[in-house]
Structure 1
């Protein structure tokens, strides 16, 4: 009988993958922002010193970029994890 609940190992792996992905995506998107605009990303987009266009642009880039990164990495990691679990089951069948 298939269990729809993710196992504890995937919860741990998925959480770690999420943290690393968020950190790496933020660094990569910040680097891309500097290359595209020539300015550092706004630290506080709510600050009156940051223009409305820059704040909205940064929010869109970060929101879309982070979401896409999470989707791609989570799907890839889950696919590989499931593949590894299936391989493990065929090598060492459970009693």
Structure 2
């Protein structure tokens, strides 16, 4: 049970940290590439559809990849520390 709680906290911290870092990097990259701030709400009707789709696509991919890599790194660290993978990852077929 304690291992499960440790893994939950590790996984949460890793994904939250990765999400924040990816968003900051993406916002900076967007400003450099376009010369303006990214749309705060792509669903707003005053944001062009092209800009909304571009931001949603790029941010979704960047945040998704960052979270996946962070989760993998956290799982690897957990395995090295405990000698086994977290329970929710042990049964996965590769």
Query: Given the two structures, how large is their TM-score scaled by the length of structure 2?
Result: 0.79
Q: CA deviation at 1:34?
A: 0.8
The residue that corresponds to 1:92 in the other structure is none
The residue that corresponds to 1:8 in the other structure is 5
Q: CA deviation at 1:62?
A: 0.6
Would you say 1:26 and 2:23 are equivalent positions?
yes
Which aligned runs of 4 or more in structure 1 are off by greater than 6 angstroms? none
The residue that corresponds to 2:50 in the other structure is 53
Q: CA deviation at 1:19?
A: 1.2
Equivalent of 1:63 in 56, 60, 63: 60
Structure 2, unaligned runs of 5 or more? 84-94
- CA RMSD between the two structures: 1.2
Q: CA deviation at 1:81?
A: 1.5
Output the CA distance in 1 between the equivalents of 2:14 and 2:73.
10
3-state SS of 1:7 partner = helix
How many matched pairs? 81
- Point out the structure with max Rg over C-alpha: 1
Output the CA distance in 2 between the equivalents of 1:43 and 1:7.
36
